Amino acid sequence: MSIVNPVSVPSAPPAKTGSTSNQDAFGKDAFMKLLVEQMRHQSPTDPSDGQQWINQMTQFSMLEQMQQQSAGQVKANAAGYLGKTVSWLDAKGQSGQGVVEQVDFSGTEPTLTVAGHAGVKVGEIQDVG
């Protein structure tokens, strides 16, 4: 089997803002392109084992399902803060406390509105009362 240089495979297009799935640097489009390139450049005299391809696709499918479950869990965790009193501290050093009034799922990660202050990230929550 020939070796494919992964650097020569075109990268996946950048993720669109507000999409429902997070795209990392090596997303499913890039994986599929790499798989096609591997198949295209394999030696006809020494074809690769079909079981290897099935194993790779199965592993990738399992990884994708775990990522989707993880994203769903993040949303569920964010929704769990609704109506609760929290204190938060952001990267700029701003802090506050209050009741979570709203959860916004429109961006790449959920944000909370706490006592009228929008844009509080779930990871910035310090305490839940």
Contact 4, 36 (CB under 8 A): no
Q: Which residue has the higher pLDDT, 72 or 88?
A: 88
pLDDT per residue as tens digits for the range 12-62: 444 444 444 445 556 677 777 877 887 787 777 766 667 777 787 788 888
Is residue 6's pLDDT more than 50? no
Contact 2, 31 (CB under 8 A): no
Average pLDDT over residues 95-118: 92
Letter string b/e over residues 34-71, b meaning 16 or more CB atoms within 10 A of that residue's CB? bbebbeeeeeeeeeeeeeeeeeeeeeeeeeeeeeeeee
Is residue 7's pLDDT more than 50? no
Is residue 72's pLDDT more than 90? no
